[in-house]
Amino acid sequence: PPRAHFDSITQRLVLNMDHFCPWVVNCVGFYNRKFFILFLFYTVVSCLYFLIAIVCRGPLSLQHLLVGKAGTTALKFMAVVFDSSLALAVSGFTCFHVKLVYYNQTTIESDCEEYDVGWRRNFESVFGANPWLWLLPVVGGGPVGDGVHWPLNDGTVEGGEDLIPMAGSDSDEEYGDEPDMDAQMEA
């Protein structure tokens, strides 16, 4: 299928493969890309929460960090340095992957623009149709589509031997009902 790649580490063909991630010890692809991006996002949020807590609150404040006991001060200082570095690095990863979702690309095909069908539909193809569930680590209805047929920005759908018109394009033909995601995931 288009946008599928064989992963040599897991020995599997992965739909809409983004990359193999050693952090989650799995391929990031069609069905788990949302959860990978949320993992990055919540890692940044927790790092920033820690930094705010250590700089602004009571015995963990910046004043106590600079004037506290020698052993505690060094430990707190190292924690701030490590957490700041992690927050900065993971923020870069998060921004990069959100940009890829915005343009409907993966790290493998980061220069391909033919799948960009508008930011809203691009986000729906990763996070699902319900925007209220985009920041929650739940499947909801799953990503929009089946991972095999991909709408192109010229109004057609790629996948299989023929290009068929997309629903809502200039043609009156519909390409059928959406596949049942629950049935596909059980198979």
Burial of residue 114 (number of CB atoms within 10 Å: 0-12, 13-18, 19+): middle
Tell me if 166 sits within 8 A of 157, measured CB to CB: yes
56 counts as catalytic: no
| Residue 69 identity | K
* Cα(35)–Cα(136) distance, integer angstroms: 9
Considering the candidates 21, 27, 47, 112, report the single residue annotated as catalytic: 21
What is the C-alpha to C-alpha distance for residues 126 and 134, in angstroms, rounded to an integer?
A: 9
Residues annotated catalytic, as ranges: 21
